[in-house]
Amino acid sequence: MPDGINDIFSVLQADRISKSFGSVPVLFSVNMDVRPGEVHALIGENGAGKSTLMKILSGFHDPTSGRILFDGEEVVLPPNGGAEMLGIVLIHQELNLAEQMTVEENIFLGRELTKNGILDRQRMQAQVQEYLQDIGLDIAPTARISDLSIAEKQMVEIVKAISRNARVLIMDEPTAVLTEAETEVFFRQVTKLKEKGVAIVFVSHKLSEVKEISDRITILRDGQWIGTKEAGDMSLDAMAQMMVGRELSDLYPPMREADVDADRVLQVANLTAAGVKDVSFDLKRGEILGFSGLIGAGRTSVFEAICGLEPIISGTIHVNGAETRFASVAAARDAGIAYLTKDRKAKGLLLDKKMRPNLTLFSLPKFVKRFGLDIKSEDAALERAVRRFDIRARDPDISVGDMSGGNQQKLLLAKVMESEPQIVIIDEPTRGIDVGTKQQVYHFVTALAAEGVSVVVISSEMPEIIGLCHRVIVMRDGRTTGTLEGDGINETEIVRYAAGLKGEGLE
């Protein structure tokens, strides 16, 4: 038993829980308890068993052995979300919203308020409005989910859980897609809930957040319970070490000096497209160029326009000195430019397919031999990629959707790199992946640049931008507001440009 678990009464407790899927054991005798009014973080690398534990705590999985205690009594949680009736709510990582319905309809889905058998829209809308104001979210209850940004959808999901009077709120990486500003709003809400006595379990890969918000931390590694500690007693390094089980040398590889005289491989001038206004910048050979800014600042739109994914309204693009405009993604790929999406699930990988077709999809023409696909060379490519990117799958025939986020991200990297691009744009390179994999991705990006590939990193994680990039461009409302270089790259500067306190467009 950790640190005197019985001292304070726990609302929900996992006692020596083990779980196997078929013959594959995933959790080994794990303990965890959640107290009313505490934030309990659950951390661990991808594949450590966090999601499984959360699903067991919310009744979506049965434990193979061990006990679940609710209010101190042993219970069998009702399956398939039935535990919500007990006040145990799990917010899935994949947002669980009906895209074509409104915010209000989603929040009241399954427990609509009625008056005389007819939906009482007014009352529902009023309540939703209240919730939204509470959380500081500026969207209308009548907005359609499909029109919202990912961040807003995430917030709606949280509002939905809050509206259900949860006693235990279990959240799987709620902040993964939120900007820092949004995360702050979110944490304020969490603190309010905490004060009301709600027990909160949350999973995050952002260790600084974990440190900031949680009271206690439980660490899992390879399905083993490593420990439960008071958050105040732990440094970020200690957390990372307990997760990884080895010394983590610096997260970011040493910065290699940028070659100031390198050729400019990409020159963009006065680019205007949907969500992009008059953007100009250069990219040098072997450079890592960061794009920072708030979500919705137009960073992704810039590169979608350049790569032929969205139409360009005006402006010029030079690649290796020659003016060009790509009519299709294929044309951009053939010119050596590849864009790696931040939306792994909707735009990056075919989740119902295996690794091989995913790996080669982007550069499939390369694998065509006499009209037919050369399966052998595809297999060879997969073997190479698995080695080069350290992709770990239980089974090579696994559907990509069943792989952990970190391995998916590595596969997505491998997929894009299969086209051997000279310029690669990586959008949110480490979204939703664990610290070990992050480190691998950072080292990989640095190595690429060292080989002479130019890399654009679009990221909402400030430390990543600061730790990785030679130069940083900050965007706001579709415009570039500033360019930072060398020692000038620091958090305050970026925030000032991103928030519009400082910048080229300002008088």
Partner 1 sequence: MTLSTANTTAKGRSMKFDVKTAGPAIALILLCIIGFSLNPAFLSEGNLSNLLTRSAFIGIIAIGATFVITAGGIDLSVGSMAAAIAGVMIIIMNNAVDMLGTGVATVLLGCGCSILLGIGAGWINGVLTTKGKIEAFIVTLGTMGIYRSLVTYFADGGTLSLDFAIRGAYRPVYYDSFLGLPIPVWVFIVVSIVGWFLLNRTAFGRYCTAIGSNEGVAKYSAIKVDRVKTITYMIQGLCVSLATIIYVPRLGSASSSTGVLWELEAIAAVIIGGTVLKGGYGRIGGTILGALILTTIGNILNFTDLISNYLNGTMQGLIIIIAVWLQRGDWGKAKASKT
DSSP for 209-253 reads HHHHH-SEEEEEETTEEEEEEEGGG--HHHHHHHHHSS----SSP
Our CB check for partner 1 shows the closer of 145 and 193 to be: 145
Site mask for partner 1 (CB under 8 A), range 410-449, x = bound: -----x---x------------------------------
In the complex, what is the shortest distance from the CB of residue 262 to partner 1, in angstroms, rounded to a whole number?
27
Residue 456 contacts by C-beta under 8 Å, 6 or more apart in sequence? 283, 288, 289, 290, 291, 303, 423, 424, 425, 426
Residue 353 interacts with partner 1 (CB under 8 A): yes or no: yes
Angle at 68 between CA 49 and CA 48, to 5 degrees: 5
CB 395 within 8 A of CB 310: no
Residue 361 interacts with partner 1 (CB under 8 A): yes or no: yes
Segment lying near partner 1 (by CB under 8 A), choices 63-71, 352-360, 439-447, 492-500 = 352-360
Our CB check for partner 1 shows the closer of 63 and 482 to be: 63
Q: Which of 102, 218, 404, 480 binds partner 1 (CB under 8 A)?
A: 404
Amino acid at 77: L
CB 451 within 8 A of CB 271: no
Q: Which of 35, 40, 42, 50 binds partner 1 (CB under 8 A)?
A: 50
Residue 244 interacts with partner 1 (CB under 8 A): yes or no: no
* CA 152/CA 296 separation, integer angstroms: 11
As a whole number of angstroms, the longest Cα–Cα distance in the chain is 75
In the complex, what is the shortest distance from the CB of residue 364 to partner 1, in angstroms, rounded to a whole number?
5
Residue 376 interacts with partner 1 (CB under 8 A): yes or no: no
Q: Indicate the helix (H) or strand (E) that contains 90.
A: strand 88-91
Q: Which residue has the tokens 């959240």?
A: 171
Residue 274 interacts with partner 1 (CB under 8 A): yes or no: no
Residue 80 interacts with partner 1 (CB under 8 A): yes or no: no
* CA 498/CA 475 separation, integer angstroms: 6
Phi/psi for 393 (5° steps) reads -130, 140
Residue 281 interacts with partner 1 (CB under 8 A): yes or no: no
Residue 373 interacts with partner 1 (CB under 8 A): yes or no: yes
Residue 24 interacts with partner 1 (CB under 8 A): yes or no: yes
Residue 120 interacts with partner 1 (CB under 8 A): yes or no: no
Segment lying near partner 1 (by CB under 8 A), choices 123-131, 157-165, 380-388, 457-465 = 380-388
- In the DSSP assignment, the letter for residue 111 is S
For partner 1, the binding residues (CB under 8 A) are: 21-22, 24, 26, 46-52, 309, 328-330, 332-333, 339, 341, 343, 346-353, 357, 360-365, 367-368, 371-373, 375, 379, 382-383, 386, 392-397, 402, 404, 415, 419
